[in-house]
Amino acid sequence: NAGVTQTPKFRILKIGQSMTLQCAQDMNHNYMYWYRQDPGMGLKLIYYSVGAGITDKGEVPNGYNVSRSTTEDFPLRLELAAPSQTSVYFCASRAGTDNQPQHFGDGTRLSIL
Amino acid sequence: AQKVTQAQTEISVVEKEDVTLDCVYETRDTTYYLFWYKQPPSGELVFLIRRNSFDEQNEISGRYSWNFQKSTSSFNFTITASQVVDSAVYFCALSVPSGGSYIPTFGRGTSLIVHP
């Protein structure tokens, strides 16, 4: 059971480039989340989804977009990369409606130069 | 708005010492959930415990224990007889209902360093 899989693990982008961070889960979870983790700042919620076709903004959505066409996949898109988006990105999923704990991927370390 | 405060940025102890990690939360919701997660140096986040707002029972799991006090809005985490493998960043999180879902808010984390 793979759980939550994030790709790539590391990436370096130039300012203005675009890329998609991939996230896939094989647990049939309806709820999926994207966070960014900056040093000493904890995790900040970027976007979340409560099921296929439904997404909503979190605390720090600017500069990002998401889609949820299937239950399994929740990609995060950066359209015009900026140095402020240098961070570690975590995808998570969870089951159920009674707020089960989240399962996290291993993270993607992204640097914008 | 929801808020989670982990006032201790970093704690350093020697192996076998007991250590308590503090977590104070703010919310106006009467129904909410509290979590602790561990992030070891390898980077992944591991779930430790979940507690809902109606369950104030303290919990013990091996060397880990949690003290939930609604009166002080705190959900503290104690490690007894710490070990080097406990070295990690520990996050407290609060999850409150919003539009049919639950929106999580994380604290900034406490870095625990256990020296041999």
> Of A112, A110, A108, A111, which Cα lies nearest the Cα of A6?
A108
Mean pLDDT of A34-47: 93
pLDDT of residue B56: 85
What contacts B57, CB < 8 A, 6 or more positions away? Answer: B68
Check CB contact under 8 Å for A99 and B9. Answer: no
Cα–Cα distance measured from residue B59 to residue B68, given in angstroms and rounded to the nearest whole number? 9
Measure in Å the smallest separation between the Cα of B9 and chain A Cα atoms. 8
Across chain A, mean pLDDT equals 94
Set of chain B residues whose Cβ sits within 8 Å of the Cβ of A107: 43-44
Check CB contact under 8 Å for B95 and A33. Answer: no
Cα–Cα distance measured from residue A112 to residue B31, given in angstroms and rounded to the nearest whole number? 40
Set of chain B residues whose Cβ sits within 8 Å of the Cβ of A40: 9, 108-109
Measure in Å the smallest separation between the Cα of B116 and chain A Cα atoms. 25
What contacts A4, CB < 8 A, 6 or more positions away? Answer: A23, A24, A25, A27, A91, A92, A93, A103, A104, A105
Instruction: Name the residue among A40, A58, A99 with its Cβ closest to that of B95.
Output: A99
Check CB contact under 8 Å for B43 and A56. Answer: no
Cα–Cα distance measured from residue B77 to residue A25, given in angstroms and rounded to the nearest whole number? 30
pLDDT of residue B101: 79
Q: Find residue A84's DSSP bridge partners.
A: none
Averaged pLDDT, groups of 10, chain B, 116 residues long: 94 97 95 95 92 88 94 96 97 88 91 97
The pLDDT of residue A1 is above 70: no
Cα–Cα distance measured from residue B102 to residue B81, given in angstroms and rounded to the nearest whole number? 35
The pLDDT of residue A97 is above 80: no
Lowest mean pLDDT among A48-57, A90-99, A101-110: A90-99
